[in-house]
Every structure is written in structure tokens, then in C-alpha cells.
Amino acid sequence: MIHTHIQEKLLLYLDGNLPDEEMQQIREHLSACAVCAEQHDALASVWRSERRLEKVKPSPVLWTRLQALIQEYEQTPVFVWDVKNIFQGISLRPIPALAVIVAIVVGIYLGSPRESQKYKPAQSVSQLASAADELELDQFDIIPPGTLGSTLVNISNRQK
């Protein structure tokens, strides 16, 4: 535990970002602990050497591109520029994912039954009778007695 506590502070130690007392404690620990001392040396070689990278100049054409952009900006009315910028920010890359999402939503909508298509059982005898009338059951089919169909026909006949 002591080692972990020391090791996570090694970069702060290397940069001198700790209070004096803590710096002293770590210094003493490093002189006594070979493992932490080795890790200190490894970090020091990396942390200090990486800073020696040079600054890189941008491409020489960047100035030319910038001038062209400024010229276009100066020749375009402000509101046209603002509108153009709004649409320029929209990339075409999200379209495949959006298309999938839209397809799923449309599929769910088309797959779910319409209100008119949903089956609802008849709530009353008159509804049954009108259904029998609609289907003209007594005209075409011989309905075995004692069945639901014969009951429907009887109800319908009584209604008439």
C-alpha cells in the first residue's frame, strides 16, 4: 500500500508539485526502496525526454486556404453565410444509422394492428344479431343445432 501511494505521486514528485514535507518523505522512501527507485527512474526518463519534441509548422498552403475563406466570407451576405454554416455542420455520415432507426420505427408502426383491424368481441346480443345478419348465416349454411352459430341465428330470428 505504501508503494502504491508513493508510485502514484511520482510524476508530481518529478515536477516538484508536492509540499516540502511530502517531497522529503518520497525522497527518503526512494533511497530505501529499490522497486520504487527503479520506477522513479523509468518515469523520469520518459517524462523528461518527451518534452524535447520540436514545434511543427503547419502546411504552407494553410495561409492560402485561409485567405480564400476570408475572401468568400467578405463577398457573401451575412445571413447567407450563417445559413450555409448551419447546413455545413451536418455531415452525411450519420445517415446510415438514422436510416436504420427510421426503418425500425416504421416497421413497428406498420406491424402493429390498426384500430379498425383489431378484433373486439361483441359486447351485446344485438351486435351478435347484426353480425349474423351481415353474414347471412341463415340463408347459406346449414348450422348444426346446439352450436354457437345456431344460437346466433335463433337470436337474429327472434330480433326480427
Per CB under 8 A, 17 contacts another protein: yes
Q: Is 134 in the site for another protein (CB under 8 A)?
A: no
Give the span between the Cα atoms of 27 and 16, in whole angstroms.
Answer: 11
Which ranges in the chain belong to alpha helices (H)?
A: 2-7, 10-14, 20-32, 34-49, 61-75, 78-88, 95-111, 125-135, 137-140, 148-159
Q: Is 96 in the site for another protein (CB under 8 A)?
A: yes
Nearer to another protein, 73 or 84 (CB): 73
50 near another protein (CB under 8 A): yes
Tell me which stretch binds another protein (CB under 8 A): 57-65, 105-113, 126-134, 142-150: 57-65
Establish if 80 lies at the interface with another protein (CB under 8 A).
no
27, 31, 37, 69: residue in contact with another protein (rule CB under 8 A): 69
Angle in degrees, 0-180, between the axes of helices 20-32 and 34-49, rounded to the nearest 10 = 120
